[in-house]
Amino acid sequence: MESTILNSISSPLDLKKLTNPQLNSLAKELRKFIIDIVSVKEGHLGASLGVVELTIALHYVFDTPNDLLIWDVGHQAYGHKILTGRKDLFHSNRQLKGLSGFPKITESIYDSFGTGHSSTSISAILGMAIASKIKGDFKKNHIAVIGDASIASGMAFEGLNHAGVTDSNILIILNDNAIGIDPSVGALKQYLTNVKTGNQKQDNIFEALNFDYSGPIDGHNLSKLIEELERLKSVSGPKFLHIITTKGKGLKQAEDNQVTYHAPGKFDAKTGDLIPKSALNQPPKFQDVFGHTLVELANSNKSIVGITPAMPTGSSMKFMMETFPERAFDVGIAEQHAVTLAAGMATQGMIPFCNIYSTFLQRAYDQVIHDVALQKLPVIFCLDRAGLVGEDGPTHHGAFDLAYLRCIPNITIFAPRNEIELRNIMFTSQLGKISGPLAIRYPRGRGVTLKWELPFETIEIATGTQLKKGNSIAVLSIGSIGNNVTEAIESLDISHYDMRFVKPLDHHLLHTIFKNYPIIVTVEDGCIIGGFGSAISEFAVNNEYKNSIKMLGIPDQFIEHGSVSELQNEIGLTPNQIKEYLIKLLEN
């Protein structure tokens, strides 16, 4: 193997032996190492390339892991992982049983806090700093690195607001590159732009919050970073360092096309060019069906508006934003605001389609209950990335949405089995026939239907449908996991029902099922506890049915990362596993 500086680094202690020229050479090697592996293994690219110099400087100046360091969001932590003893394992990043794509406290002592979602670092690092002070440890440093998109979130400002009235030894580093996954938005983004260009005339907002502010400085000037971090080590109280970086630094295509190269898939490590994926005869992505359908509906219904919290590309809300920019809103990383904004619009007769990833809606749970459901407002929640999402792992699996929404009064919950059903429920939802909010949850990735652009049909609320007629056993599924069931029972004498609605349930159909089948099997790609299977069991108890009910779904544990098929195999939800399970039931 070629002898390189990077090969000599097994921990941050090795960094401290290097000269400035060697550190700059290390930065080039670290970028190449990340590019070479991510080009083949896939993952998040641009964010980590943008903080290579900062990563080196932090571990060079501070005494990690004794000094505590949090990366917000973990998209930018690849270099951190490589320099903290995980270089030889980095090829397993995001693979089944391999390294997590995000910082994870059980993976390394250098990962002070798990950060798969944004805007948590300031609150967490302040909690750690206060704990250090209580324990009498006044020498420990506490550092949080947060991006300009993440710091605009409400929780980040809650942390800043508290930190500014403490004397805690914390350093907040703002990694300002004007982009999260999509370009940053909002008044704070404009403020930071004015600071960078020297056009900001008012007082510095961070100084006004009682932080010792310094910057902005070039985040790719390693010597300057080290010099400033060394200075800040001796400054007491809350400190704020503003650095300017370029997302995707060092790979021209990643610098020029920062949205695509956030997580580009496979690409040529030498040229940077994407390796095209064959799209011939493939069904569309669910998110694209949502995006195109929303535009189609908005063309004929002037009351429709679209809202997304910083996910216009990932949710395909970008189609609405391009076609009807005055009726589509990216509100930044602000899920709580997105939900209540939608509620406000609904009170005025608008029809808001609020598209939020399943796990991100967890961050706005009170708003769903208090601002929407309690007031019975007709907000349409489109929950992308429901169920198992694959390599992003437990922070992003949409495992809990059915359970956490099902217990809320006034809400209707629908899970389409395919793209046509997604289109039809979207069409139905804007006709004014549903009282109160509607949640539509659908998976990440491609569906199953090539010819999906069919004329709209109205879906009757609280109706399921029989997909296959059989004897003895009835399988009840919800959502796209029903396609696994269809494949599993193709040769079996078993009935299959797509219930479609988790709330309200199709009671008429359920009575028919329970009167005709002694064994009921429920299948869902959500958590079993409190989910779809639980709803069916509650129906049975309330109606005094004694049928045998078996539930397949996500067990009571956090599911790690891997491909969707690998993870389904881990928990018994592949077509073959469902088939084997049902055959055993038939034999008994």
Q: Which residues are catalytic?
A: 247, 335, 363
| Residue 164 contacts residue 296 (beta carbons within 8 Å) | no
For residues 168 and 109, what is the distance between their CA atoms, to the nearest angstrom? 22
For residues 487 and 109, what is the distance between their CA atoms, to the nearest angstrom? 44
Q: Which residue has the tokens 């990335």?
A: 385
**Which amino acid is residue 459, in one-letter code?**
I
Helix%, strand%, coil% for the chain, nearest 5: 40, 15, 40
Q: Are strands 328-330 and 304-308 parallel, antiparallel or unpaired?
A: parallel
Write the CB contacts of 99 (distance below 8 Å, at least 6 apart in sequence): 81, 86, 89, 90, 92, 93, 107
For residues 530 and 401, what is the distance between their CA atoms, to the nearest angstrom? 10
| Angle formed at CA 111 by CA 105 and CA 117, multiple of 5 degrees | 75
Q: How many CB atoms lie under 10 A from the CB of residue 209?
A: 17
Q: Which two tokens stand for residue 377?
A: 């407002």
For residues 205 and 1, what is the distance between their CA atoms, to the nearest angstrom? 50
**Which amino acid is residue 481, in one-letter code?**
I
Closest by CA position to 360, among listed 153, 92, 554: 153
User: In 387-534, where do the E strands start and end?
Assistant: 412-414, 438-443, 465-468, 473-477, 495-498, 501-503, 519-527
Closest by CA position to 437, among listed 312, 319, 339: 339
Coil, helix or strand at residue 38: helix
Q: Which residue has the tokens 């370029």?
A: 246
For residues 563 and 549, what is the distance between their CA atoms, to the nearest angstrom? 29
Give how far the C-alpha of residue 355 lies from the chain's centroid of Cα atoms, to the nearest Å: 12
| Residue 312 contacts residue 318 (beta carbons within 8 Å) | yes
For residues 173 and 354, what is the distance between their CA atoms, to the nearest angstrom? 32
| Residue 462 contacts residue 506 (beta carbons within 8 Å) | yes
Q: Give the CA dihedral 477, 479, 484, 487, nearest 10 degrees.
A: 80
